Amino acid sequence: MHVDRLPHMTYIEKMADSALKLYYFDGRGRAEVARLILAAAGKEYEDLRFSEEEWPKYKPLTPYGQVPALQVDDVVYAQSNAIFSFLAREFGFLGGSSLEIFKIDEIVNLVNDFVNASADALFHTDDPAAKEAALKKVKEVVGPRTLGFLEVILEKNGTGYLVGDKLSLADIVLLDATTGGMASNLLDVNDDYPLVKKTIELVKSNEKIGKYLATRKDSPW
């Protein structure tokens, strides 16, 4: 596999040869960012998807009884953000300097706060009135606040990308949160966020990501 712009080639070449297997339910959810990174990297992997009924068979294979989980050769690792930063680092989407990595992690955590608030409202709030209030807060407060911060970051950075001058995990996380991840229906990327809109289009215009998006399965979450 051809990998450019990577400083630590020996490790990368080893990684490029590793067999990767991603475990998740048959939806986008918390696994889709990993799939997007792997698509952008052009890395072959096994996308193992299972139903709710099949889940008890896989649960004991994961370190913490939850997915996403990523098997690298014969070891299974977990925690979505750890998986994303591992893959982003291996395939050159985690910035060049420690400060760039810091900024990317910051944005990943910022978007993750929104994703977690959305997941709590959508899946973990049973009382109908509480659910309605939680969804309203996500739509009217958490979402616009997150997009507002991202707009400012893009304005300051001035390259079209959230960090540095090339595609990074931060941009991929933004794409996922706004286009088809579990929380995207709660996020209104309207004309108040022109730079965010442009960045989403820029990420979609990446040849490998664009190809993946054109063929990926529909998913309600």
Ligand X SMILES: N[C@@H](CCC(=O)N[C@@H](CS)C(=O)NCC(=O)O)C(=O)O
- What does the binding site for ligand X look like in residue numbers (CB under 6 A)? 29-30, 59, 65-68, 79-80
* Residue 83 near residue 34, CB atoms below 8 Å: yes
Query: What is the distance between the alpha carbons of residues 169 and 95, in angstroms, rounded to a whole number?
Result: 8
Least separation in angstroms between CB 221 and ligand X: 9
78 vs 213 by CB, closer to ligand X: 78
Q: Rg for the chain (alpha carbons), in Å?
A: 17
Least separation in angstroms between CB 53 and ligand X: 13
49 vs 59 by CB, closer to ligand X: 59
Least separation in angstroms between CB 124 and ligand X: 10
120 vs 188 by CB, closer to ligand X: 120
Q: From 15, 156, 25, select the one nearest 72 (Cα to Cα).
A: 15
Query: What is the distance between the alpha carbons of residues 196 and 175, in angstroms, rounded to a whole number?
Result: 10
| Residue 72, token pair as written in the block | 């690298």
Q: Considering all CA atoms of the chain, what is the largest pairwise distance in Å, rounded to the nearest integer?
A: 55
Least separation in angstroms between CB 193 and ligand X: 26
65 vs 194 by CB, closer to ligand X: 65
45 vs 221 by CB, closer to ligand X: 221
Least separation in angstroms between CB 25 and ligand X: 7
Instruction: Verify cis geometry, omega within 30 degrees of 0, for the bond prior to 220.
Output: no
